[in-house]
Chains A and B, each alone.
Chain A
Amino acid sequence: MKSQVPSRRQFVAQTAALTMAAGFPLIGRAQVKAIKIGVLHPVTGALAFSGSQCRIGAQLAIDDINAAGGIKSLGGAKLEALLGDAQSKPEVGAAEVEKMNEAGVSAIVGAYASAICLATTQAAAKYNIPHVVDVGVADSIVERGLKNTFRFGPGYTTAAHVAMNNLHILNKLAGNVAKSVMIIHEESLFGTGTAQLLARDLPALGFEVKEVVKHANPTRDFNNIVLRMKAVNPDIVIPANYYNEYALLVRTMQQQKFRPKAIYSVLGGAASSFKFLNEFPDAAKDIIDCNHWFNPKDKRALALRKRVEAMKVFFTYEVFCTYTATMLLADAIERARSARREDIVAALAASSFANHFMPYGATRFVNGQNQGAQPLMTQVQGGDIKVIFPKEYKEAEPVFPLPRA
């Protein structure tokens, strides 16, 4: 996590006097004023892992932009990260926005979790601070009419629809071998929201939804769920949950020797995670996921993956989502030719950012949502994660249904 820019938070003291004595000494010979970017994630508390991964992504992006000469339309102005910790609590996230506002940030990137994003985007809206949402898949984030809020990636509605359509196609190609599904989801906003969509729309595509199981975070034991799975015997198991629970679930399925025709995840916490693949290669084998993913044919993505792995950090979706979200913001500042918030908001709204490695094409924002944002379908094959859908990004043929063990 060696960052070249002075990334230490120097929101100096409003401790006793409660006054902001903002001083941001610049390292380097920058003649032009640096542009402050708030990098706000939950790096402590329950979401600490994902939040830290996001932070790394943002820092790498800022390093890259500065190394490439900063914001050229502003005379090579450097970006300067102000790091914030939402402590996995919405109210703390909102308080960090206040501090960032007074520290004079031009924009904010964050804040990973949907519940925190809801709080930070609306706090930032009060000061018209442009807020680029990096992950936060709840669609309500961009449906509230906040003019300052922009989401580069897809929401869960898009993810669920892409997943369902592709499942339909996949199944047709295989001769409609799969007829039933079982959905297993975590109990908070993203899992519940995704599962509701799936349960509603899958029957129309010819799948019987045999059971929808909701579980807590953390769930200490998945044997019960897997036992039910064995009793119901669905053709396809669809998990939508976070990393720890996902990993336990799949391990338990392996343990109980239950092998459906496919494990088909929607925004699965570990399904397309190099961390999971690395730690449990057998359990991860053949898992399909519909998730945030980069264009596998883009060399920049592969180079970034190498760099990240050299830092002994897993190249998870949090890293590259926040990396590209930060790039989007830098592009907007470049074209705004200004570090002023309203100019950046306008530039984001009119953005057509195409110089990135996500499979989104050029950006086009409607009500703050990037219209081209889409998840990709991946499958764990040959000890790596390969894109299997759609055609233009495909690296490998899907294996479906899975051969009987």
Chain B
Amino acid sequence: MLSILFPSLLNGVATGAIYALIALGLTLIYGVLHIVNFAHGAALMVALYGVYFLFTAWHVDPYLALPIMIVAMFCFGYGLQRFVIGRASHGKDEYILLVTLGIAIILENLALALFRSDTHSIDTAYTLATVDVFGALIALPKLIAFFGALAVSSALLLLIGRTQLGRAIRAVAREKQGARVVGIDVEHIYAMSFGIGMACLGAAACFLLPAYYVNPLVGNGFVLIAFTIVVLGGMGSFAGALIGGLIVGVVESLGGLWLGESLGQIGIFVIFIAVLLFRPQGLFGQKGA
């Protein structure tokens, strides 16, 4: 088993990068709006279909689809928060929960009705290509996704840390009444944050599809893992989501190695529970966050 420890570790890191991409959007939404977004998986599915149809209908390479998907998913997210979630939730946690759940049901079944339940994957020149990293074969799409995750999280850090919009988002995240007093349009900032979160999913979908597949329920497999990462990294922390994603990827990989793929999943949840109990602010979150 020792001989495959290194490749397994490396693969865990690469898989974890994809998880991190999905978790980045979730952690932003959670950090600003303080809502548990049950529709995150369904939104990922929407983005994956977007990439898929761009590829099959217009032969747009998934990586070239990045700008299109980022803009499209941003608009989708902005509208969703501004006109549906914001209006229906009456600012109460339990209703936000129900609304995002309702949206997930709508999106998943709309996809089922429109595109049928078939699983689709795309076959590009690099789908099956691998890169030899010190004797370990790492799938090329995963390697690209790893750098994609680094790029997206850096971009987010810059956006939130260095721009006017970022300042407003941080103000709303910390104290929304105060932000309102100083003239920030809180509803707009909420919608912007949700939109940016969805845009991250758009990027994630471009990196994920070459290594995976899409069907109406594909997002469900990633929701729980994304929540785990968000908690692990600290809700609202981008660096936390990135490193949390990598940790979860590695734990899953090594857990699978020693406990079997099915039982190995337990490692993730045990870490999740331990972090919640002993360090609920997450590995990278601030105390009292």
User: Measuring CB to CB, which residues of chain A are less than 8 angstroms from any residue of chain B?
Assistant: 43-46, 48-49, 51-52, 187, 213-216, 218-221, 223-225, 227-228, 230-231, 243-244, 247-248, 251-252, 254-257, 275, 279-280, 283
Whether B15 lies near A48 (C-beta < 8 A) is no
Q: Which residues of B contact A275 (CB under 8 A)?
A: 118
With both chains docked as a complex, state the minimum distance between the C-beta of B223 and any C-beta of chain A, in angstroms.
12
Q: Would you mind naming 25 contact pairs between A and B with Cβ atoms under 8 Å apart?
A: A44-B109, A46-B217, A48-B217, A52-B116, A187-B262, A214-B261, A214-B263, A216-B265, A218-B218, A218-B220, A219-B261, A223-B11, A224-B257, A227-B4, A227-B7, A228-B4, A231-B3, A244-B213, A244-B215, A248-B212, A248-B213, A251-B128, A255-B130, A255-B139, A256-B137
- Are B221's CB and A231's CB within 8 A? no
A322 nearest CB across to chain B (Å): 16
A48-B7 in contact given A213-B261, A223-B15 (Cβ < 8 Å): no
Interface string of B15-50 (1 = CB under 8 A from A): 100000000000000000000000000000000000
Distance between Cα atoms of A279 and B127 in the complex (Å): 12
A257 in contact with B262 given A218-B221, A220-B15, A224-B253 (CB within 8 Å):
no
For B225, list chain A residues within 8 Å (CB): 220
* Residues of chain A contacted by B11 (CB below 8 angstroms): 221, 223-224, 227
With the chains together, A194 CA to B1 CA distance in Å?
26
In the complex, the answer to whether B261 meets A247 with C-beta atoms within 8 Å is no
Give CA–CA (A44, B222) in the complex, Å: 20
Which chain B residues lie closer than 8 Å to A221 at the CB level?
11, 15, 252
B155 contacts the other chain (Cβ, under 8 Å)?
no
Residues in chain A near residue B212, CB distance under 8 A: 220, 248
Question: How many angstroms between the C-alpha atoms of A182 and B127 in the bound complex?
Answer: 26
B123: interface (CB < 8 Å): yes
Inter-subunit contact B117/A52 (CB<8 Å) = yes
A230 partner residues in chain B, CB cutoff 8 A: 4
Known: A223-B15, A256-B130, A279-B121. A49 touches B215 (CB 8 A): yes
Asked if B112 is at the interface of the complex by the 8 Å CB criterion, the answer is yes
A225 touches B256 (CB 8 A): yes
Roughly how many angstroms separate A51 CA and B217 CA in the complex, as a whole number?
A: 15
Instruction: Give chain B residues whose Cβ lies under 8 Å from the Cβ of A220.
Output: 15, 212, 221-222, 225
In the complex the two chains form, what is the Cα distance from A267 to B127 in whole Å?
26
Residues of A within 8 A of B116 (CB): 49, 52
B177 at the interface (CB under 8 A from A): no
Contact of B213 among A46, A51, A231, A247 (CB under 8 A): A247
From residue A196, how far is it (CB to closest CB) to chain B in Å?
A: 14
Determine the distance from Cα of A275 to Cα of B4 in the docked complex, in whole angstroms.
33
Give residues of chain B (193-234) contacting chain A, Cβ–Cβ below 8 Å: 212-213, 215-218, 220-222, 225
Looking across the interface, which residue of chain B has its beta carbon closest to that of A283? B128
Q: Does B81 contact A (CB under 8 A)?
A: no
New A-B pairs, 16, CB < 8 Å, besides A44-B112, A248-B213: A49-B117, A51-B117, A52-B117, A213-B261, A215-B262, A216-B261, A220-B15, A221-B11, A223-B15, A224-B253, A228-B4, A230-B4, A244-B119, A244-B213, A279-B123, A280-B123
Asked if A224 and B112 make an inter-chain contact with CB atoms under 8 angstroms apart, the answer reads no
B112 A48 Cβ-Cβ under 8 A: yes
Report Cα–Cα, A371/B78, bound state, in Å: 60
CB-contacts of B89-132 with A (<8 A): 109, 112, 116-119, 121, 123, 127-128, 130
Q: Among the listed B109, B123, B137, B257, which residue makes an inter-chain contact with A257, where contact means beta carbons less than 8 Å apart?
A: B137
Q: Which of B254-269 contact A (CB under 8 A)?
A: 256-257, 260-263, 265
For residue B3, which residue of chain A has the nearest CB?
Answer: A231
**A225 / chain B contacts, CB cutoff of 8 Å:** 256, 261
CA distance A75 to B3 in the complex (A): 72
A248 partner residues in chain B, CB cutoff 8 A: 212-213
Chain A nearest CB: distance from B214 CB in Å? 10
Nearest opposing residue in chain A for B138, CB measure: A223
Q: How far is the CB of B131 from chain A (nearest CB, A)?
A: 11
CA distance A215 to B260 in the complex (A): 8
On whether the beta carbons of A224 and B1 are closer than 8 Å, the reply is no
A231 to B135, CA, bound (A): 13
Q: Which residues of the partner chain A approach B128 to less than 8 Å between Cβ atoms? A: 251, 254-255, 283
Q: Tell whether A224 pairs with B213 under 8 Å between CB atoms, given A243-B119, A244-B119, A280-B123.
A: no
Pick from A48, A244, A255: contact of B216, CB under 8 Å: A48
Q: Which residue of A lies closest to B117 (CB)?
A: A48
Task: Tell me, yes or no, whether B8 is within 8 Å of chain A by CB.
Answer: yes
Interface set, chain B 43-86, CB cutoff 8 A to A: none
A-B pairs, 3 with minimum CB distance: A48-B117, A215-B261, A49-B117
Is there contact, CB below 8 Å, between A216 and B262?
Answer: yes
With A44-B109, A255-B128, A279-B123 as known contacts, state yes or no: A214 contacts B1, CB within 8 Å: no
A216 to B112, CA, bound (A): 23
Known: A48-B112, A220-B221, A231-B4. A213 touches B213 (CB 8 A): no
A247 and B222 contact, Cβ closer than 8 Å, known pairs A216-B261, A255-B128: no
Contacts of B257 in A (CB 8 A): 224, 227-228
How far is A187 from B123 in the complex, measured between Cα atoms in Å?
A: 28
Residues of chain A within 8 A (CB-CB) of B215 are: 49, 244
CB contacts (< 8 Å) of B260 on chain A: these are 213-214
Bound-state Cα–Cα, A300 to B117, Å: 27
Distance in angstroms from B148 CB to nearest chain A CB is 16
Known: A49-B118, A216-B261, A218-B221. A227 touches B213 (CB 8 A): no
Question: Which residues of A have CB within 8 Å of B252?
Answer: 221
Tell me the complex Cα distance, A223–B12, Å. 9
Q: In the assembled complex, which residues on chain B have CB atoms less than 8 Å from the CB atom of A44?
A: 109, 112
Whole-angstrom distance between the Cβ of A278 and the nearest chain B Cβ:
11
When chains A and B are docked, how far (Å) is the Cα of A44 from the Cα of B252?
Answer: 30
| Chain B CB within 10 Å, residue with most, of A49, A219, A247 | A49
